Amino acid sequence: MAKLEDLDFIFEMEKRIFNQPWTKESIQNELNKSNNTLNIIAEINEKIIGYFFSHIFGKEVHILNLVIDIPFQHKGFGKIFLNRIIKEHLKDVNIFLEVKRTNLPAINLYLSFGFQEINIRKEYYSDGEDAIEMVKKVSNYVLV
């Protein structure tokens, strides 16, 4: 789980990765929330290489952020990290997220996990870019 002491690492990574990063205060607020959040860090040899922030409302989870730090991207870590999070924490819930329409690495990652595109939100981001809304529903199929 992500802790308040991880704040500086997460904020530095956030600034490296995004043109419009979350503020330090907004990350701190998320880390301070004790209810309805699932915030997890990815570590290699006790070094933080990524993070995942989400809100949970009953059977619905909303992914706020999923990041793998630049030197560790495209090596399979995002896939391993998301797979572990879903298996350990999100097996029986519907998962929602928004992703920039141009963010192909992330969109491809989510598609490979069975997320489906359900909506386009025009000019959703402050830089004017559209968001694709995606969902991964709990499977209704039961093997008999």
Residues of this chain that interact with ligand COA (CB under 6 A) are: 17, 66-68, 73-79, 97, 99, 103-106, 108-109, 112
Report the greatest alpha carbon distance in the chain. 50
Nearest Cα to Cα of residue 23 among 98, 99, 126: 126
Identity of the residue, 93 or 96, whose beta carbon is nearer to ligand COA in the bound complex: 96
Identity of the residue, 36 or 102, whose beta carbon is nearer to ligand COA in the bound complex: 102
CB of 62 to ligand COA, least distance (A): 11
CB of 100 to ligand COA, least distance (A): 7
Give the ranges where 1-144 is alpha helix by DSSP (H). Answer: 7-17, 24-32, 77-89, 104-112
Q: Taking CB positions, which residue lies at the least distance from ligand COA?
A: 78
Identity of the residue, 31 or 42, whose beta carbon is nearer to ligand COA in the bound complex: 42
Paired strand residues for 1: none
Identity of the residue, 38 or 97, whose beta carbon is nearer to ligand COA in the bound complex: 97
Could you tell me the two tokens for 21? Answer: 């990063």
Paired strand residues for 47: 44
Under 8 Å CB-to-CB from 144, ≥6 apart: which residues? none
Mode of pairing for the β-strands spanning 131-136 and 94-100? antiparallel
CB of 108 to ligand COA, least distance (A): 3
CB of 18 to ligand COA, least distance (A): 7
